[in-house]
Amino acid sequence: MSDASDPSGTELHWRSAIELATAIRAGEVTSAEALEHFVARIERLDGPINAVVQWDLDRARADAAAADAALAAGGRVGPLHGVPMTIKDSFQTAGCITTSGAPELADHVPTEDAWPVARLREAGAIVFAKTNLPLFAGDIQSYNDVYGTTNNPHDVERTPGGSSGGSAAALAMGFTPIELGSDIGGSIRVPAHYSGVMGHKPSYGILPSHGQIPGMPGTLSQADLAVSGPMARTVDDLELGLDVLAGPDRWMTPAWHLDLPPARATALTDLRIAAWIDDDHCPIDADTNAAFETTFAAIVAAGGSVDTEARPGFALQKADDVFSALLFAALSGGHPRDKIEHMAADASDTPLGRVKRLTAARHRDWLANHERHLQIRERWAEFFADFDAVLLPVQPRPAIPHDHSEPQWGRTVEIGGTEASYMDLFSWIAPAGVGYLPATVVPIGVSGDGLPIGVQIVGPYLHDRTTLQVARHISFLRGGCPRPALAG
């Protein structure tokens, strides 16, 4: 969009969701015009990325026209009124194919929206397309036999992350101002880190995810550890997304409401920030360490402080072990009984053997790990009596090259010049996940070869607004989201 038709001086596709909603309400641009702008941009630039994999344009055009008519008539306006957006393909969208990357669902057309999608539409959003992910959202790389592979906008030889990889790539390319992700093992946080955008993993239990696949369509249960949450290019959009999406689920709606506490402090000088980035269990590479050191220096120069020695009352390895046990137990439901029994019999001393045994664990094992998880939550509560947030790596390195070899848990990666297990990529995801804690990811720099690096800002349970406030300060100090060369 030219400057003449864009009074803000910011191209339409780089405006935040809040800015775009404001422009639509002010009559600077119509919802229909904004929609066609995004469609044309995706058609022009998505070829080498493959982030957007399914259109829903007939409904979107009708919804955009209705939004414009409602505005002209002085009708009710929601916070996302008329704003076009894409949605991760694990969330069911009424009337639009939703596959979760599974060939057996290649023609699945839901009859109703997933709860988060419904809430976005109620807020006025215009859902016009779906974004790619791994099979059943089960990897930190985004590829499947239905739609193929999504590439990282900063280096197409690498993954944008997963499972919300198409979501992150679409944001990085300016294909959508806001997205809907999900996270059980880092599926919001890792793509935000790999692709140079922002994501918020909410406190567990505050945002209903009914209607996401997996489980299969019609499933009412929600997996332990799993959350849904917003992804965006600004922290204000993350908070708006959280406000729109959070609330009671289908069971709690008659009597339960949510009132998240305000940020513990507003000014950077008043926020008590710790950092935990060095641990022998999962050392980070030199580029990631340099990005953190630069961020610490920027915080201090701006009048804040960072305690790099403070630690919660448990080791990273303990959190990783308990998290892995609960994660693979939560993911075990899709395996038939005979496969589970075969997994349980695998005694091999390998990452793959460990994954099999964790997936096949008995309920008594889960109960023991559930108690360990509660003990870790208690240690976190004690830690956050003295600190408002702690900065963690998202992963020990930036985006990895594509590797679709099977079995998944037999893969290896390079971390700081050393070959490591694929499972090592999940170690820094564990502390927030096992603690049910909110975690906001924003970019803090790039590696020597231009790959984005993000920080994971973790806070006390239900203090999502505190991690978002810390994220605002860090994003301001570190310059926001890097734009890929392929985005023009």
Which residues pair with residue 55 across a beta bridge? 129
What is the pTM (predicted TM-score) of this model? 0.96
What is the model's pLDDT at position 352? 86
- pLDDT of 258 reads 95
Alpha carbon distance 466, 464 (integer Å) = 5
Three-class SS of residue 407?
coil
Element (H, E) at 85: strand 84-88
Domains of the chain: 3-245 (3.90.1300.10), 268-483 (3.90.1300.10)
Handedness of CA 377, 139, 393, 423 (dihedral sign): positive
For residue 313, how many other CB atoms are within 10 A of its CB?
12
List the one residue out of 113, 172, 195 whose CA is nearest residue 487.
Answer: 172
Active site residues: 88, 163, 187
Find out whether 116 and 245 touch, Cβ atoms under 8 Å. yes
Looking at the DSSP bridge assignments, the partners of residue 130 are 54, 87
- pLDDT for residue 75: 84
Measured in residues, the chain has a length of 488
For residue 232, report the phi and psi dihedrals to the nearest 5 degrees: -165, -170
At 233-285, the pLDDT tens digits run 999 999 999 999 999 988 899 999 999 999 999 999 999 999 999 999 999 99
The predicted-structure confidence for 297-313, as pLDDT tens digits, reads as follows 999 999 999 999 999 99
Exposure string (b/e) for 351-375, b if CB count within 10 Å is 16 or more? bbebbbbbbbbeeeebeebbebbee
pLDDT at residue 390 above 70?
yes
**Does residue 74 carry a pLDDT above 50?**
yes
Backbone angles phi, psi at 356, to 5 degrees: -60, -45
Contacts of 202 (CB under 8 A, 6+ apart): 227, 228, 229, 242, 245, 246, 438, 464
**Among 124, 400, 111, CA closest to 241:** 124
